[in-house]
Amino acid sequence: MPTYKAPVADMLFVLHDVLSLGTGAVPGYEDLDRDTTAAILGEAAKLAQEVLAPLNRTGDRQGCVLDKGMVRTPDGFRAAFDQLRAGGWPALDCDPAYGGQGLPYLLATAVGEMFSSANMAFNMYQGLTHGACSAIHAHGTEAQKALYLPRLVRCDWTGTMNLTEPQCGTDLGLMRTRADPQADGSYRITGQKIFISAGDHDLAENVVHLVLAKIPGGPEGTRGVSLFIVPKFLPDAEGRPGARNALSVGKLEEKMGIHGNATCVMDYDGATGFLLGEAHKGMRAMFTMMNEARIGVGLQGYAQAAVASQAAVAYARERLQGRAPRGAANLQGAADPLIVHPDIRRLLMDQKSFVEGARAFTFWGAQLIDEAERLPDPAAQGLVSLLTPVIKGFLTDRGFDATVAAQQVFGGHGYIEDSGMPQFVRDARIAMIYEGTNGVQALDLVSRKLGAEGGRPIRALFDRIDRLVVPQIGQDAAWDAEFLIPLQTATADLRAAALFFLDHAATAPEEVLAGSTDFLHLAGHVGLGYMWLRMAQAAREALAAGRGDPEFLTAKLATGRYYMARQLPLTRAHLARIKSGASPVMALDATAF
């Protein structure tokens, strides 16, 4: 069974050496010197390694059980959730006014990666709660905030998002769930919601459902959708769980993975709900949860690759098979370990260069969210809005590939469930789908985010890259060839793709949409390339200054070189596809498939 070792040193490098946590103007950052961060991450690592990771396989094998209308989570989940709560982990970045610790979202993201690597299905219970907190914090009345937030911040109660219905997923305008206004200002919610993660369980005393529904007589389509707070137990006057609300779990879905998380069909039979935010403005409120959730899902994508990759490295070091091409490396053994073989190295370097790049990219996104919220900085807001679909879509697509690559290192043993590798693959698969499929992320990117504010965010991204690259060029031929030119070339491909889209957006939307996923991947490679240059530069400077562990820093540089040499050439192929336009994609009649 795979074990998990939290990558604390890698995280500290990104947080402090690359993103300069502990310095700068962001409120909440200034107290976080390296020792403080290390202490927090070290505690989180213990919980992840010693409590959550050992439950991962149990969660997969046992799954959740629906028994007399109640969901029972796998053995050990309840005790682990108590430990999570006791450590105050769910409150890390929450508002101190409601019991939170007020630490940066950036730090919560680092901790979230560990918990997600250790046990993705388990961590979703608190992850969704965090999203519900954010939505109520942003859109709730003072009374709603006072009632729900302290309980959600502590995870005494947990939260859910209820969007999907059998006939409607992405297209929420097709929604049928109804919210009938009552004399006391509440609403009666009637309808069925599906795919509700953490929809019910035995880990907390109450479940607070945030439910999208239509108030009769409102506008058509998504403009008529409102958001409601629908608790499983209606809070009494003291805010304790009181009467059972008229909602029930219709079914637990049998899924490909994340078996430890209860994916519920939720039936609302005239349940009492309370409007959250304005009537008919539910989509906006829901997007407060959604954007955060999308970054969280991007994180899941690479977090599974991270833990799977650790297992692959361990196996490659241990398993003896064949001899190294440059001569036997393990003379006393009957064979050499797998890791001597170049094609195994390729698999491992693909994983390593992706995971470390993805971590830096996600952490940067989290930092932009902190800057947007805590400074506040509208430019940071625009940039992270642009990057959110890239973080979600690119990191989950490539994270799945990297998890499959980790499984591949095991040969036949990786296909056996006891190895733990199939679970990583099966769990990682959902991240490409939920919170908006990756196709929807690509659509969001090219049809909303790319042209937002007249294109200011994408120009801001290009400016940041140019400001980093251009002044350095021509000083060191190796540095130019290994880092600067590859990133500049890839960025030029992204610019060309953006221009192609701007030329066609108004007149030929299909030309844009046919290349949307390629654009998302192109942007993802540029994003990871940019972060690799930043990491390489930080490593190089630390080495020159004699700071840090030279082996660690040298490995960073080597891993960065790999990403530049072996991944960035893909941008050219993505651009070629984009430029081939809509006609190859749309040529066939729907009947001709």
Catalytic residues: 435
Residue among 111 and 568 whose Cβ is closer to a copy of itself: 568
Sole binder of a copy of itself in the list 118, 271, 306, 344 (CB under 8 A): 344
Residue 402 in the binding site for a copy of itself (CB under 8 A): no
Residue among 66 and 460 whose Cβ is closer to a copy of itself: 66
Residue 262 in the binding site for a copy of itself (CB under 8 A): no
Residue among 49 and 321 whose Cβ is closer to a copy of itself: 321
Minimum distance between the CB of residue 314 and a copy of itself, rounded to whole angstroms? 9
3-state secondary structure of 263: strand
Long-range contacts of range 471-476, CB-CB < 8 Å, 24 or more positions apart? none
Residue labelled with tokens 């490539």 = 398
Residue among 246 and 314 whose Cβ is closer to a copy of itself: 314
Minimum distance between the CB of residue 261 and a copy of itself, rounded to whole angstroms? 12
Cβ pair 200, 232 in contact under 8 A: yes
Query: What CA–CA distances, in Å, run from 433 to 108, 301, 443?
Result: 24, 11, 14
Residue 354 in the binding site for a copy of itself (CB under 8 A): no
Sole binder of a copy of itself in the list 349, 487, 494, 536 (CB under 8 A): 349
Token couple for 514: 């046919």
70-72 and 65-67: which strand pairing? Answer: antiparallel
Minimum distance between the CB of residue 68 and a copy of itself, rounded to whole angstroms? 23
Minimum distance between the CB of residue 548 and a copy of itself, rounded to whole angstroms? 14
* Binders of a copy of itself in range 119-138 (CB under 8 A): none
Residue 478 in the binding site for a copy of itself (CB under 8 A): no
Sole binder of a copy of itself in the list 143, 331, 545, 587 (CB under 8 A): 587
Non-local CB neighbours of 21 within 8 Å, separated by 6+ positions: 15, 29, 32, 37, 104, 106, 107, 367
Residue labelled with tokens 């304790």 = 240
Sole binder of a copy of itself in the list 13, 157, 195, 268 (CB under 8 A): 195
Sole binder of a copy of itself in the list 38, 513, 531, 535 (CB under 8 A): 513
Residue among 321 and 472 whose Cβ is closer to a copy of itself: 321
Minimum distance between the CB of residue 317 and a copy of itself, rounded to whole angstroms? 6
Residue among 324 and 379 whose Cβ is closer to a copy of itself: 324
Residue 378 in the binding site for a copy of itself (CB under 8 A): no
The region of 100-108, 198-206, 299-307, 510-518 touching a copy of itself under the rule CB under 8 A is 510-518
Number of residues in contact with a copy of itself under rule CB under 8 A: 93
Residue among 452 and 586 whose Cβ is closer to a copy of itself: 586
Residue 162 in the binding site for a copy of itself (CB under 8 A): no
* Binders of a copy of itself in range 218-257 (CB under 8 A): 253-257
Measured CA to CA, the distance from residue 492 to residue 6 in angstroms comes to 36
From residue 413 to residue 452, what is the string marking binding to a copy of itself with x (rule CB under 8 A)? -xxxxx---x--xx--xx-xxx--xxx--xx---------
* Binders of a copy of itself in range 306-335 (CB under 8 A): 313, 317, 320-322, 325-326, 334-335
Residue 149 in the binding site for a copy of itself (CB under 8 A): no
Minimum distance between the CB of residue 448 and a copy of itself, rounded to whole angstroms? 14
Residue 81 in the binding site for a copy of itself (CB under 8 A): no
Amino acid at 155: C
Query: What CA–CA distances, in Å, run from 310 to 316, 404, 410?
Result: 10, 13, 12
Residue 455 in the binding site for a copy of itself (CB under 8 A): no
The region of 30-38, 44-52, 292-300, 337-345 touching a copy of itself under the rule CB under 8 A is 337-345
Minimum distance between the CB of residue 301 and a copy of itself, rounded to whole angstroms? 14
Cβ pair 479, 541 in contact under 8 A: no
Measured CA to CA, the distance from residue 156 to residue 90 in angstroms comes to 10
Residue 392 in the binding site for a copy of itself (CB under 8 A): no
Residue 481 in the binding site for a copy of itself (CB under 8 A): no
Cβ pair 493, 574 in contact under 8 A: yes
Non-local CB neighbours of 26 within 8 Å, separated by 6+ positions: 104, 367, 370, 371, 374, 375
Instruction: State the Rg of the chain over Cα.
Output: 24
DSSP-assigned letter for residue 28: T
Measured CA to CA, the distance from residue 522 to residue 490 in angstroms comes to 8
The DSSP annotation for 444-502 comes to: HIIIIITTGGGGHHHHHHHHHHHHHHGGGTTS-HHHIIIIIHHHHHHHHHHHHHHHHHH
Non-local CB neighbours of 193 within 8 Å, separated by 6+ positions: 162, 163, 164, 165, 177, 211, 265, 266, 268
CA dihedral 410, 415, 420, 423 (to 10 degrees): 130
Residue 36 in the binding site for a copy of itself (CB under 8 A): no
Q: Which of 155, 136, 156, 130 is nearest to 229 (CA)?
A: 136
The DSSP annotation for 182-233 comes to: -TTS-EEEEEEEEEEET-S-SSSSEEEEEEEEE-TTS-SGGGGEEEEEEESE
Residue among 69 and 584 whose Cβ is closer to a copy of itself: 584
Cβ pair 336, 322 in contact under 8 A: yes
Minimum distance between the CB of residue 504 and a copy of itself, rounded to whole angstroms? 11
Q: How many CB atoms lie within 10 A of CB 199?
A: 29
Cβ pair 116, 4 in contact under 8 A: no
* Binders of a copy of itself in range 551-580 (CB under 8 A): 551, 554-555, 558-559, 561-562, 565-566, 569-570, 572-573, 576-577, 580
Residue 37 in the binding site for a copy of itself (CB under 8 A): no
Cβ pair 337, 316 in contact under 8 A: yes
Residue among 21 and 522 whose Cβ is closer to a copy of itself: 522
Minimum distance between the CB of residue 297 and a copy of itself, rounded to whole angstroms? 13
Residue 545 in the binding site for a copy of itself (CB under 8 A): no
The region of 18-26, 77-85, 146-154, 336-344 touching a copy of itself under the rule CB under 8 A is 336-344
